[in-house]
Amino acid sequence: MPQQFVVIIAGGKGERFWPASRAQRPKHLLPIVGTKPMLAQTLDRVRPLVSAKNTYVITSAVQEDAVREVCSKLPKANIIAEPVGRDTAAAVALAAAVIAARDPKGVFAVLPADHIIHDAKSYQRDLKAAFAAATEAEVMVTIGIPPTEPATGFGYIQQGEKWKSFERRPVFKVKRFVEKPSLDVAKGYLASGDYVWNAGMFVWQASVVFAALAAHTPELNAGVAPIRAALAKGKPLGPVLKKIYPTLVKISVDYALLEKSANVVVLPSSFDWGDVGSWPAVPDHYPKDAAGNVSKGLAIIEQGKGNIVFSSDGHLTAVLGADDLIVVNTPDATLVAPKSKAQEIKLLLKRIEALKNGQKWL
């Protein structure tokens, strides 16, 4: 049987969670929800299915030290730092090269580091079914999330006819991928029952990835060839990555491979799922007080409703007579913003970057 592997992508900046999230220790390295860093929670969920030696984390050079702290139980060689970010297609191509060097018939899952999933048993069952599907056939398996609302912030996958079942979980052919829709279109998707959210979770054989690269993104396929050659010869990965990686085309795996391939199938998930993309999504995962406020750390909210207050260790943060605010206090920076402006935090970061010594707060 081919070996099974997990590759966790942990390189995002998490800018919309500033000031808690910083370049060297972003969202997935923080306990935004729960008591452990989100990356650690992801590792805990996959541990019953895949051994530590077959679990990899791809991160950025600036986050490498912090990631190694969180992933101390993984072999050192299984933490791979990209010299520069080249988007998800390059990360998947790199992962396929590493897996193929271990097992030419290897099957691997690509998973984001920062998803919130509480029902670990259902998650593991679905992932096991996805592995079975990808092992049996040369398909690209994506795990889709049945929508619970007409969300406009996610991409969608339209399901076609049923293909097969694995672990008593149905798998469907994919008709098409669609971009983030308008609200009216999203309402139609929800009502039809034919669409699932694209959560960026994929399972496939390494050879299937390379076949798709050759067919649809030949420049990226050629670009990673020196990396594959170095791994085949047992050479260290660091030097070849430093030389080759900055030259790779920057494109998402959805655009590069999935949207262009005919062998894509989707397994609708049976587990709960949350993509905590910004501060206003946090209250869905915390208990609220009678006025709908959510707080973490030492915080007092008086005569206010619908607030989100996160306070750093030992620092008292008090809110009086205000509604629907985000208040985040850290040792060196504090954010106060209406929840309605949460998506504009990146604009604030541009102003901070322009300050003298602004990088110290980023």
- Examine the pLDDT at 14 and tell me if it is beyond 90: no
273 found inside a domain? no
Q: Residue 13 pLDDT more than 90? A: no
Mean residue pLDDT across the chain: 95
Strands 308-311 vs 317-320: parallel, antiparallel or unpaired: unpaired
The answer to whether residue 185 is domain-embedded is yes
Task: Examine the domain organization and report whether 65 and 39 are in the same domain.
Answer: yes
Is residue 165 located within the same domain as residue 24?
yes
Residue 8 near residue 58 (C-beta atoms within 8 A)? yes
Residues 284 and 273 sit within 8 Å (Cβ to Cβ):
no
Range of the domain at 332: 279-361
Does the pLDDT value for residue 250 go beyond 90? yes
pLDDT per residue as tens digits for the range 170-215: 999 999 999 999 999 999 999 999 999 999 999 999 999 999 999 9
For residue 30, the model assigns a pLDDT of: 94
Residue 333 pLDDT:
95
Bigger pLDDT: 3 or 357? 3
Question: Does residue 19 have a cis bond before it (omega within 30 degrees)?
Answer: yes
Structure tokens of 334? 């504090």
pLDDT band at 313 (very low <50, low <70, confident <90, very high): confident
Cα(165)–Cα(133) distance, rounded to whole angstroms?
Answer: 8
CATH for 25: 3.90.550.10
Pair 194, 333 in one domain: no
> What is the length of the chain?
362
Rounded CA-CA distance 8/11 in Å is 9
Q: How far apart are CA 272 and CA 239, in angstroms?
A: 41
> Are residues 52 and 196 part of one domain?
yes
Residues 298 and 254 in one domain: no
State the CB neighbour count (10 A cutoff) for residue 63: 26
pLDDT at 12: 84
Averaged pLDDT for residues 69-84: 97
Residues 115-155 pLDDT 10s: 999 999 999 999 999 999 999 999 999 999 999 999 998 99
Same domain for 116 and 233, yes or no, is yes
pTM score, whole prediction: 0.93
- Least confident span in 29-33, 105-109, 162-166: 29-33
My answer on whether 98 and 209 are in the same domain is yes
Q: What is the mean pLDDT of residues 34-60?
A: 96
Cβ burial of 147 (10 Å; 0-12, 13-18, 19+) is middle
Same structural domain, 24 and 123: yes
What band does 42 get if pLDDT is binned at 50, 70 and 90?
very high
* Other CB atoms within 10 Å distance of the CB of residue 50: 20
In whole angstroms, what separates CA 25 from the centre of its chain?
Answer: 15
Would you say residue 275 has pLDDT above 90?
no
User: Looking at residues 246-254, what average pLDDT do you find?
Assistant: 96
Residue 157 banded pLDDT, cuts 50, 70, 90: very high
